[in-house]
Structure 1
Amino acid sequence: MSYVALALGLAFFAASLTPSLIPRAWPLQGALAGLVMALGYMIGRFCVSLWRGMQFPEARGRRALWLHGLLVGAALALLVFCLAMAAHWQNSVRIRVGMDPEDGATVLGVLAIGLAIFAVLFLIGSGFQLAFDAVRVRLYRVMAPRAANLLGLVIVLGIVFVASRDWVLPSAIDFLDESYETAQDLFETAPPAPDDSFIAGGPGSLVDWAAMGQPGRNFVTGAPSADDIARFTGRPAQRPIRVYVGRSQDDDPHERARIALAELQRLGAFDRRILLVASPTGTGWLDPGAHDTLEFMQDGDVATVAVQYSFLQSPLALIFETTTGLEQASATMEEIYRYWRTLPEDSRPQLYMHGISLGAWSSMYSFNVFQMLDEPVAGALWTGPPFPSDIWRRTVAARNPGSPYVLPEVDQGEVARFSSQFVTPQEQGDAWGRIRIVFLQHASDPIVFFEPGSVFREPEWMREEPAPDVSPDLRFVPVVTQFQLALDMALSKALPAGYGHNYLAHEYIDAWVAISNPPDWSQEQTEALKAICNLGKDTGCKMP
């Protein structure tokens, strides 16, 4: 046991108790604390080994005992303080996102779980140390000690890497992919196909109903009726067109895109006022609030198309199937945009793009700037854009001097604007250009604001005044903050609707009004639509 490393591990444990974007239940907090304590201990051991390897002087005897006692004592004092503050810090997050505060009675549970996980990880690390020692001792017989140490480390790490890459990781991905595919009720477990030829998957459809999956079937059958839309607007309305092609339809993303285009043509989608190319999340889910709202305000004169690319949850798809969503979105957009350009400009629909979460990233990726310079799409709404999204990152980087990172302003807002549950696009006025883009995001959404470089560097948004849904006690701690935000991403939908990665139907309304400029629309209709969308909560908009 290295007391210097132990002191650093205890300091990491204490720092993990500070707040981040998402409140953590005590079992998860204990798990996080144990993990970062082990990480801190490992970093400490590395630093001690490096110090000794450089042959720097070390404290001995009583001096060493006094120094080690001082370091561990200071770390324990810090830990006691942070444990006492833990409930307050977590409640500072909970209160700001509409959750009830909790008492501090779970501190002992956090401590017990954290220390238990540290002990397990310590034993695993000791096992690696034993394997390394066994390899390097044998190598001492044939080479110099320094070379044997280096080669022994490479061999052990190589074995672990190959085993993880070739056995553990593929097995985990296959298991997850199969489990989510099974949960989507495909083929023999699918419900009967509809007998309505106007629904994708029904009679005469080019889309296989059984291959569509539960998210797709919910989407194509969940559109508001023409009667409901007409009752709301007081004007004649059409039945919205929705097309969805499932991941199991075909193995080729280009073929799935061609089927989607053919189905749009079959249903007369190119005769509509609005054509929306939507990219779903990893599981294939599409937020009904994003689509119901547009269909209500556009008198149902909307056709929407989406093509599934994965069965995994978005965080897993982001890690394990990074390119599949990008390839599918690009193939879909390329197929539809190419055909759309062949139509007469004065009679073809206005073309829009939309995506939420991983769908926002893939939708942005499919936005071919050079292709669209001459004939751009009319606009795009990208919700909860993940942090790797290139267009989002470049737009944030182009913000006006003094404009905040969380809700930046770019020029006069002619092309791109940012909105949240607290700020609408309309607050920048009516001076839109030829194309209208809105990024809808919450300051408490770690999918948006995770920063890969935050191991040793404070993210820009942490240097600003916190948004209303972010704790004022949030502070940057090297290494620890990275793991806090990583856990936040996994918990991003654990907050009430309207916070984190949960976007409400009524939040889309101001964005769609700004982007699609619906005819004969008033602020009173905006408020009325918000009222019926509040009735539906996160399930869309329902007429009473």
Structure 2
Amino acid sequence: MRVPRAGVSVAVAVGVVVSLAPGLLPRTATAQGLLTGVLVAVMFAVVGGVRKVSAWGRFAGGGGDSRRGVVAGLGVVAIGVSVGHAQHWQNSLRAAMGMPDVGLWYWPGCAVGAVVVAGLLVGTARGIGWVWRRLGAARGIGLAVVGVVAAQFVLVPTVTQWRHSAYAAANAAMDPGVVQPVSSARSGSSVSAVSWPSLGAEGRKFVAGAPNRSVRVYVGLESAPDPNARVELAIRELERSGGLDRDNLVVVVPTGSGWIDARAAAGLDERFGGDVALVGLQYSEAPSWATFLFGRRAAEASARALFAAVERRLAGVRDRPKVYLYGQSLGAAAGSDVFSGEDDQARRVCAAVWAGPPANRVHRAHATVLANSSDPVVRWSPGLLWHAPDLGGTRRDAPLPRWLPVIGFVQTSVDLLGALGVPPGHGHRYGTDQGTAMGYC
């Protein structure tokens, strides 16, 4: 067997080293293998392109076995050092988060996954190149155009419809472990104007949650035909349930799927000693990442409409409850968008809690911002490609990786996939302090 060409050694070494750079969160062998395989394939493409257009191609593609052996040896050393450092970093993160160290089969699993992924990607790219050469430029361009048109008019609509159906099915699914409340202070009870099935999966969990001292009002997508009707129904539910008779009222902005963190609800109950009403309004069935990319305006419009309706209902009321606002993740971004600026927020709300706000960008007047330093949602933005993130106000919960241009963006983007796979208090998971940290008027 001949020693690999210098370009191959460089592509493999650089791809592996970059993929093993320190990230924010512990990573499974599958996730690490996938990232490594993708980056090695990308480096193959980069090295191939450079070889064709520059004089470096003579070095990357040619040379005797001695030169190739030196490059391959340096690559092996670089990979070995990177694996050792990655092992130490992974265990440091896991120790800080109360998770077990990586197991014996972790690195073999990473290697197998990386080889399979890189092989599939490189093989597919070479197959496309072979077809292109066989067809010629004109027919190749024609086939590419047909493929793009087919994807636009057939594949994309089909996938979109399938995902909508999947989200709707998940929203409608009835969990036998979630019991319909009997208290009149909860939406979905027998005396509520909001039917139990219409609450959606996340709404049912919210209103059925303990403790049972607080008023919990929730209106699902199926509870009324349009956004305005859902807002009106929420206000009527607050009146019916006695929510306006409590001393404190918290407008809760859910995440994309309608989820309200049970730990936040329990924390708010503790913070106000049960003398509180929580009201939330579902605006989407899709998960937060999909809603953030394609439906963020719906989240913002829903939060503004509900908060404005609460303000109108309480206007002129003598013994009205104090009004607060809470949101996590997309809910934090949408909740902050209720206000035009810091002064507007300070004037219109008693206090607010924003947990895990995307890119750490929210209005901070009269607000408590909870942001774990290991939360990739708080750090991620396109600007991470060329400058370090602003970690002002974050609480350090784990070792922090050193930011590097481009590499920091890649690692943080990958960490988004595992942001919820860690214990509360780390990553994009927060505890009851989401409620207990609420400020005072």
Residue 122 of structure 1, CA deviation: 0.7
Distance of 1:321 and 1:373 partners within structure 2: 24
Distance of 1:163 and 1:102 partners within structure 2: 44
Query: Is contact 1:330-1:366 (8 Å) kept?
Result: yes
Q: How does 1:145-544 map to 2 (within 5 A)?
A: 162-185=149-172, 194=181, 196-226=183-213, 240-250=214-224, 252-340=226-314, 342-344=315-317, 346-369=318-341, 372=344, 375-387=347-359, 391-392=361-362, 416=364, 436-455=366-385, 457-460=386-389, 468-471=396-399, 474-506=401-433, 508-509=435-436, 511-512=437-438, 515-516=439-440
Task: Return closer, same or farther for 1:337/1:64 CA change in 2, 3 Å cut-off.
Answer: farther
- 2:124: which partner in 1? 124
Query: Is contact 2:5-2:60 (8 Å) kept?
Result: no
Query: Is contact 1:188-1:210 (8 Å) kept?
Result: no
What do you get for the CA RMSD once the two structures are aligned? 3.5
Query: Is contact 1:190-1:210 (8 Å) kept?
Result: no
Give, as a single letter, the amino acid of the residue that structure 2 aligns with 1:497. P
Give the alignment's TM-score, normalised by structure 1: 0.70
Task: Return closer, same or farther for 1:376/1:132 CA change in 2, 3 Å cut-off.
Answer: farther
For residue 278 of structure 1, give the secondary structure of its aligned residue in structure 2.
strand
- 2:92: which partner in 1? 92
Residue 96 of structure 1, CA deviation: 1.6
Give, as a single letter, the amino acid of the residue that structure 1 aligns with 2:327. G
Give the alignment's TM-score, normalised by structure 2: 0.85
Distance of 1:129 and 1:492 partners within structure 2: 37
Query: Is contact 2:7-2:61 (8 Å) kept?
Result: no
Task: Return closer, same or farther for 1:278/1:81 CA change in 2, 3 Å cut-off.
Answer: same
* Aligned residue pairs, count: 436
Deviations 1:22-77 (A, max 9, x none): 1112222111110111122223333334x25xxx6853799644666554443333
Give, as a single letter, the amino acid of the residue that structure 2 aligns with 1:183. A
Residue 438 of structure 1, CA deviation: 0.9
Query: Is contact 1:87-1:104 (8 Å) kept?
Result: no
Residue 505 of structure 1, CA deviation: 1.2
Residue 448 of structure 1, CA deviation: 1.0
For residue 516 of structure 1, give the secondary structure of its aligned residue in structure 2.
coil
Distance of 1:95 and 1:75 partners within structure 2: 30
- 1:102: which partner in 2? 102
Query: Is contact 2:206-2:262 (8 Å) kept?
Result: yes
Distance of 1:303 and 1:491 partners within structure 2: 33
Moved more, 352-361 or 39-48: 39-48
Distance of 1:10 and 1:94 partners within structure 2: 26
- 1:83: which partner in 2? 83
Task: Return closer, same or farther for 1:208/1:103 CA change in 2, 3 Å cut-off.
Answer: closer
Residue 353 of structure 1, CA deviation: 0.9
Task: Return closer, same or farther for 1:78/1:467 CA change in 2, 3 Å cut-off.
Answer: farther
State percent identity of aligned pairs: 27
Task: Return closer, same or farther for 1:57/1:477 CA change in 2, 3 Å cut-off.
Answer: closer
Deviations 1:208-264 (A, max 9, x none): 3211023212212324234xxxxxxxxxxxxx2211011222453232222212222
